[in-house]
Amino acid sequence: NTVAMWRIPRETFVYIPGYTLDMINTAFARAATMDYPGGSFAMMKDVFRYNFGIELDHYARVNYPGFLWIMETLGGLQLSIDCAVQDWRLKSPELDPAVEDNWEIYTLPVGRYRLRPETALWYVRSRRTTSEIDRGRRQMDVLRGMWRQIREMGLLQQADELWPVLTQVVDTDMTWTDVVPLLPLAAELDMARIARYSGSDDVHWLRTYTPDDGRQVLLPISENLLPMLEDFLTPPTANRLGRAQMRIDVIDASYYNTGLASVAADRLAWEGFAAHALEGVDEVQRKNTVIIDYTGQTKGSPLPILQQILRVDDADIIRQPDPNRTVDFRVAIGTQYNACVRSNADDDTPGDLTAEDAAADDSASAACWLQFRAGVNVRSGPGLDYTPLDMALPDDNFPVLGRSEDGGWWQVNNDGEIGWISAETTNAIALGECDDVPVVRP
């Protein structure tokens, strides 16, 4: 009664049987040009068997119109956004994409939203300010969100009626007979029993260039990738399964009213915790996220793991042992909560992580963000000649989206609006992993 997802970056450089080394996203089409025995799926099966030792049973694929149809059928997608995403998009879906003026830079901030079909497609495609690996993480978020919404809408009970329609937009070799045994699992599965695997640069994937034509590709680092695939293919450990038994309430103490409690609860679910996001806000507005521990447990406590996932210091732990408790932990999300995960292996906590492992310093796994010693101008572009948009204050916490070409300005998410802050002012402090922030142009 568990599910695991692994998303392979499209630039992964693999051996394609009967051909040579190439990116994995070329294999399906390559089979047609080679007249490969058994066709495209037979080629993919051989690619996975040869390069990863994994046997594929079935395939399903959907194109952009098919994805939009699914999103429209669901009435949009309710989803937690844990990292702000910025990219170009059409100002309106009906506009001509060939006209330059029909495009705009759009930012989707951290929070809980119901995405329109076009926005959901934009979200799973975007990588302007992120990466191919991070895009894969978002795609797995969307797949989980689709399953969750399908179940909540009662569509699993209509599966026999919907199957003929669905197969008009989804290309698959699965038959209705193949699907029926999976329906009970889909109906009864707990969200905390869904795991995701993606890997990270320089740990599981080596970013390099092909010598003949200079394409950027990802080479699998076998000594690290294969252990991750073993975790992916084997049932979860008792340690991970035990997390689902912990009762965790999450409440918004930021007063931002952007769904941060749901964002945090969904983040915890990826690590096996059955967290519940409470409605409304906490009685007290908090700057730092606080965890209240009602268990009184020390040995084997999941508290260090919760601290690592939510980035909570020891000073923000409140211990209130209660033998009559109705929940084991209560999490109050503060204004400085940093939800962002960029598919960093140290931050995507593995299922067999121990409390001792979780106690290690995780500062390198944080995304880049700015805090302030004093007020700092947020400008409309990277330079003093640009108009001030706002004033960043000491209590503010701005996610960094990019940097200017000369490195002198940070591009930030200013409450859903793009802004620029000088990287040279001593009143702005860059925290987290800022060396790999992408260069962007205004």
Please state the rounded mean pLDDT for residues 386-390: 83
Task: pLDDT band for 277, please (50, 70, 90 cuts).
Answer: very high
Residue pair 369/397 in contact by the 8 Å Cβ criterion: yes
| 188 φ/ψ sector (left φ>0, alpha ψ -120 to 50, else beta) | alpha
Q: What is the pLDDT of residue 361?
A: 32
pTM: 0.77
Instruction: Say yes or no: 394 and 416 in one domain.
Output: yes
- Tell whether 414 is covered by a domain: yes
Instruction: Say yes or no: 265 and 182 in one domain.
Output: no
364 pLDDT higher than 60: no
162 pLDDT higher than 90: yes
Residues comprising the chain, all counted: 442
Rounded Cα–Cα distance for residues 204 and 202 (Å): 6
- Tell whether 33 is covered by a domain: no
- Tell whether 273 is covered by a domain: yes
Instruction: Say yes or no: 152 and 217 in one domain.
Output: yes
429 pLDDT higher than 60: yes
Q: What is the pLDDT of residue 355?
A: 39
- Tell whether 230 is covered by a domain: yes
Instruction: Say yes or no: 306 and 417 in one domain.
Output: no
Task: pLDDT band for 72, please (50, 70, 90 cuts).
Answer: very high
Instruction: Say yes or no: 224 and 268 in one domain.
Output: no
Please state the rounded mean pLDDT for residues 300-313: 93
Q: What is the pLDDT of residue 362?
A: 31
Q: What is the pLDDT of residue 356?
A: 40
What's the per-residue H, E or C state across the chain? CCEEEECCCCCEEEECCCCCEEEHHHHHHHHHHHCCCCCHHHHHHHHHHHHHCCCCCCCEEECHHHHHHHHHHHCCEEEEECCCEEEEEECCCCCCCCCHHHEEEEEECCEEEEECHHHHHHHHHCCCCCCHHHHHHHHHHHHHHHHHHHHHCCHHHHHHHHHHHHCCCEEECCCHHHHHHHHHHHHHCCHHHEEEECCCECCCEEEEECCCCCCEEEEECHHHHHHHHHHHHCCCCHHHHHHCCCCEEEEECCCCCCCHHHHHHHHHHHCCCCEEEEEEECCCCCCCCEEEECCCCCCCCCHHHHHHHHCCCHHHEEECCCCCCCCCEEEEECCCCCCCCCCCCCCCCCCCCCHHHHCCCCHHHCCCEEEECCCEEEECCCCCCCCEEEEECCCCCEEEEEECCCCCEEEEEECCEEEEEECCCCCEEEECCCCCCCECCC
Q: What is the pLDDT of residue 396?
A: 66
Looking up residue 402, the CATH number of its domain turns out to be 2.30.30.40
Rounded Cα–Cα distance for residues 427 and 6 (Å): 42
- Give the mean pLDDT of the chain: 87
Q: What is the pLDDT of residue 394?
A: 65
Here the tokens at position 74 are: 């669901």
- Tell whether 31 is covered by a domain: no
Instruction: Say yes or no: 153 and 203 in one domain.
Output: yes
Q: What is the pLDDT of residue 97?
A: 85
- Tell whether 344 is covered by a domain: no
Residue pair 337/264 in contact by the 8 Å Cβ criterion: yes
Q: Which of 210, 238, 266 is the last residue of a domain?
A: 238
Q: What is the pLDDT of residue 416?
A: 55
Q: What is the pLDDT of residue 415?
A: 59
- Cα pseudo-dihedral 159, 241, 361, 232, rounded to 10: -60
Instruction: Say yes or no: 233 and 297 in one domain.
Output: no
Instruction: Say yes or no: 232 and 193 in one domain.
Output: yes
Instruction: Say yes or no: 223 and 253 in one domain.
Output: no
Q: Which of 238, 265, 300 is the last residue of a domain?
A: 238
Q: Which of 203, 238, 273 is the last residue of a domain?
A: 238
Please state the rounded mean pLDDT for residues 376-391: 86
Task: pLDDT band for 358, please (50, 70, 90 cuts).
Answer: very low
Instruction: Say yes or no: 222 and 316 in one domain.
Output: no
Please state the rounded mean pLDDT for residues 27-41: 91
In the chain, % of residues over pLDDT 70: 92
Task: pLDDT band for 251, please (50, 70, 90 cuts).
Answer: very high
Residue pair 143/124 in contact by the 8 Å Cβ criterion: no
Rounded Cα–Cα distance for residues 129 and 307 (Å): 27
Rounded Cα–Cα distance for residues 140 and 147 (Å): 11
- What digits encode the pLDDT tens for the residues 211-242? 887 888 999 999 999 999 999 999 887 778 88
**Number of neighbours of residue 39 by Cβ within 10 angstroms:** 13
Rounded Cα–Cα distance for residues 426 and 259 (Å): 32
Task: pLDDT band for 395, please (50, 70, 90 cuts).
Answer: low
The parent domain of residue 305 ranges over 241-333
Instruction: Say yes or no: 245 and 303 in one domain.
Output: yes
Looking up residue 64, the CATH number of its domain turns out to be 3.40.630.190
156 pLDDT higher than 60: yes
Number of folded domains in the chain? 3
Please state the rounded mean pLDDT for residues 93-121: 91
The radius of gyration computed from the CA coordinates of the chain, to the nearest angstrom, equals 23
Task: pLDDT band for 387, please (50, 70, 90 cuts).
Answer: confident
- 5-19, 136-150, 194-208, 389-403 — which is least confidently predicted? 389-403
Here the tokens at position 269 are: 């679910």
Q: What is the pLDDT of residue 1?
A: 85
Strands 77-81 and 317-319: unpaired
